[in-house]
Each structure stands twice: as C-alpha cells, then as structure tokens.
C-alpha cells in the first residue's frame, strides 16, 4: 500500500494513492475532513483524518468506539464506512460516502418549505429508530451532523460521542443549543431521550430558521428553556444530584409554560403538536422515535414496513475497559483487518508475520497487521476479545422530496 502526503489547512494528510483530488470540507475538534475521488470506484468520497488517535487512552478509545459503531450500524439514514486505513504516521482515516452539504449550511442559506422539513425530519427519526434499537445513543445531534445530498437523501454522521443506552451515562455531551435539560441538570441518568430533545431543537430550527434555544452559556441556556417550557416540575427537580445545580434551579423565578403557538411563527398545528411532545422537560414523558414516526406530521412518508430496527444490539463490552494506548492500538488494527477481511495465520502468534500469513481482498492491508504490536507483547495479551456485528442493509421506499431541492443543496455545497 503506497501513500501520498499532502498539506491541507497546514495539516499533514497522508492517504493511499487510491484517492485523488483532495479538497478541504471542514475541520472539527477531533479531525479534518476532505472530499476526494476514489479511483477504484469512481465515486466521490469524504475522508476524515482522526488527529493523533493514539496520543492518549481516551482518544484511542474514542476512535475505536467510532470505528466499531460505523462497522455495526448499517442503515440508509446513517453514514456508511467504505474504507479505513492507518497512515505511516499512525493517523487513522475513515472514508465514507460524500454528500453535498449539511443541514446547518442549508438552514443558513434559505428558509425550508414544509415538504423539505417533513422529509428531513422523517429521515432523522427513521435513522434514530434504528440507532436506538441497537442500544446506541448518538449524544451529539446538531444540524452540522446531518448530511444531505442533491436528492434530499439525509444521513446522520459523527458517532464519535455515541454511547451505550445506559441510565447511568455521565459526562459533557452535545453542542449547547441542542443539549437536553437532563444533561444540564444532572449529568447522569439519561438515555435515548436526549437524542429526541436534540431532534426537537433541530425541528424547531427548520421551522423557524434560527436556533430555538441559543444560550450563551449553560446557565443562560437553561434559563431560555424555562422561558418556553416553564419551571421544571417537582419530579424532575427531585432528580437533580448536584447541590449547586439544585440551588441554581431553585433560585430561578417561577415561570409558566408558554404555548408554542405564541412563541413560534409556525402556525401548523400538527408540527407544533409533535414539537411539544419532543421538547418535554421530563425525559420519561418525552415521545420516542417510533412514536414520532407515527405522528401525522410525517405521515406522508411514514411506512411502518420500511422503518427497520437493528438485527442485533451493539456490543459495548469494551466500553468500561481502562486500557493502555498500545492495547487500544492492537484492538484498532484488528478491527481494520476485520473490515478488510484480512486474516492472520496462527503461525503469526510469536509476533512475526510470515510470508503468506495474511490474506484478503487487498494484501496491501497486510502492512497494517505488520505494524501492530507483537502478539506476545504485554499490550496484546491484555486485549479483550471484541467482535463487530453487522446488520442487514435496508432499502427505503420513502417518497422523494421535490426535485427543486437539488438546486438548494447544490447552492450550499462547498465550492
């Protein structure tokens, strides 16, 4: 496997010679994304460089988790992984399909007509139904993580923060505007309902053309939420674990809930009804993805026979592991080899890779295994056995959005 080295935004980008015509698309906290042409298939792709994935155990685990999830989740409304490789400098690159734009660019370019909003919301919910059925919470849904092409096909991306569906999940997640109140209030005991809240915020932004809760900080954010939803009910306040947070909430002036019809410009009763069921303070009373799909607002696209769930739950057995970087590296190499269907012969167990021990559709990936820490090393012996499961791909029959959307998407795509 040969590589070519480029400089993108001052960042070294090393990709296999299979990919040409690289152009920067975006820069995030954990990586740089470029568009490229795949010479093998002729398709346009997106290549995401994970910055220094093995610099710390936390980053190593995060990258491993994202790769495992991308391998497992196979759904038309979720971004799909077409290639993954490690450069000579040990940076990791994920290759996925390239879509023309994202919902953030679309929303900042023009107001969306009702049929676009319905179709986009339907596809987000369809993807979430599948993801949640796999026992996965995305945790960072926002318009920039919702990709759209010229046919208005929509795919959810960036599963770097995704976690197990666990009532004891903790930690700082989600961009502020789209963050569920239970995250701000308790920092624990949250589940798939946080994604429904985020989707509700995205839905409101599509309706209004601007963020619904544009908080300047987490205190201001929560205050803005209470201006619309009113003071949290007592049974929600009782779940607050932090004394400081509890005092803050109790110090706020008592507010009454404001009807959404008075706050929003939207006069579509069906849209407001669904939104009010998604943006509920108590996550236990928040509508779920399946229930959202059955709502009349997305009725034109709803097809219960074509809204699949995952065949298997995602295997989170690795998630609580506290492992050194070298061990995560071994596990990452194993996942990459598995993705490329490269197998190793047991004769390699002494840490060497004999000629012919590696087989697969692309023997260039033998280099990946050859660079892995020796199988008999301390790192390798502490590696826990993890397997990636896959689910059947699905086919959608949802009605296509109006063809006029092509121009709207193309207008917002990076030049």
413 — phi, psi (to 5°)?
Answer: -70, 145
DSSP3 helix / strand / coil % (the chain, rounded to 5):
40, 15, 45
Residue 362: closest CA among 77, 25, 84: 84
Contact 22, 6 (CB under 8 A): yes
Paired tokens of 1: 């496997």
Paired tokens of 80: 């799909």
Q: What b/e readout covers 28-60, taking b as 16+ CB neighbours within 10 angstroms?
A: eebbbbbbbbbeeeeeebbbbbbbbbbeebebb
- Active-site pick, 140, 153, 191, 195: 140
How many whole angstroms from its chain centre is CA 21?
A: 26
Reduced to 3 states, what is the DSSP secondary structure of residue 333?
A: helix
5 has binding-site annotation: no
Is 235 one of the annotated active-site residues of the chain? no
Q: Is 354 left (phi over 0), alpha (psi -120 to 50) or beta?
A: beta
Q: What b/e readout covers 98-133, taking b as 16+ CB neighbours within 10 angstroms?
A: bbbbbbbbbbeeeebeebbbbbbbbbbbbbbbbbbb
Contact 406, 413 (CB under 8 A): no
Report the DSSP pairing between strands 163-164 and 154-156. unpaired
What does the angle CA 312 – CA 318 – CA 321 come to, to the nearest 5 degrees? 160
Q: Which residues are annotated as a binding site?
A: 49
The residues carrying an active-site annotation are 140
Q: Which residues are annotated as a binding site for ATP?
A: 49
């Amino acid at each position: 496997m040969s590589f070519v080295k480029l400089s993108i935004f001052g960042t070294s980008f090393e990709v296999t010679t299979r990919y040409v015509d690289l152009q920067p698309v975006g820069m995030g906290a954990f990586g740089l994304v470029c568009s490229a042409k795949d010479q093998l298939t002729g398709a346009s792709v997106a290549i995401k460089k994970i910055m220094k994935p093995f610099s710390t155990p936390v980053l190593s685990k995060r990258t491993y988790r994202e790769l495992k999830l991308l391998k497992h989740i196979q759904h038309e409304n979720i971004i799909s992984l077409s290639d993954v490789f490690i450069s000579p400098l040990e940076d990791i690159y994920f290759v996925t399909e390239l879509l023309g734009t994202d919902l953030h660019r679309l929303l900042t370019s023009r107001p969306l007509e009702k049929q676009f909003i319905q179709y986009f919301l339907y596809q987000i919910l369809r993807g979430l139904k599948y993801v949640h059925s796999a026992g996965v919470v995305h945790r960072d849904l926002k318009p920039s993580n919702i990709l759209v092409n010229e046919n208005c096909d929509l795919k959810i991306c960036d599963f770097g923060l995704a976690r197990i569906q666990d009532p004891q999940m903790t930690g700082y997640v989600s961009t502020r505007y789209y963050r569920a109140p239970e995250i701000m209030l308790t920092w624990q005991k949250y589940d798939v309902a946080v994604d429904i809240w985020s989707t509700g915020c995205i839905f409101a932004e599509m309706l209004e053309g601007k963020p619904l809760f544009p908080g300047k900080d987490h205190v201001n954010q929560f205050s803005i939420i209470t201006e619309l939803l009113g003071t949290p009910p007592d049974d929600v306040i009782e779940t607050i674990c932090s004394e400081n947070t509890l005092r803050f909430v109790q110090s706020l002036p008592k507010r009454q809930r404001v009807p959404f019809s008075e706050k929003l410009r939207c006069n579509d009763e069906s849209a407001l009804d669904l939104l009010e069921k998604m943006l509920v303070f108590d996550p236990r009373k928040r509508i779920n993805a399946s229930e959202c799909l059955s709502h009349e607002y997305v009725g034109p696209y709803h097809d219960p026979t074509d809204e699949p769930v995952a065949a298997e739950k995602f295997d989170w057995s690795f998630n609580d592991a506290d492992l050194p970087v070298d061990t995560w590296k071994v596990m990452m190499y194993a996942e990459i080899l598995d993705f490329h269907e490269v197998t190793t012969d047991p004769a390699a167990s002494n840490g060497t890779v004999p000629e012919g021990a590696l087989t697969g559709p692309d023997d260039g990936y033998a280099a990946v295994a050859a660079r892995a820490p020796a199988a008999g090393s301390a790192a390798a012996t502490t590696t826990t056995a993890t397997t990636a499961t896959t689910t059947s791909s699905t086919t959608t029959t949802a009605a296509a959005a109006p063809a006029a959307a092509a121009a709207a998407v193309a207008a917002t795509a990076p030049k």
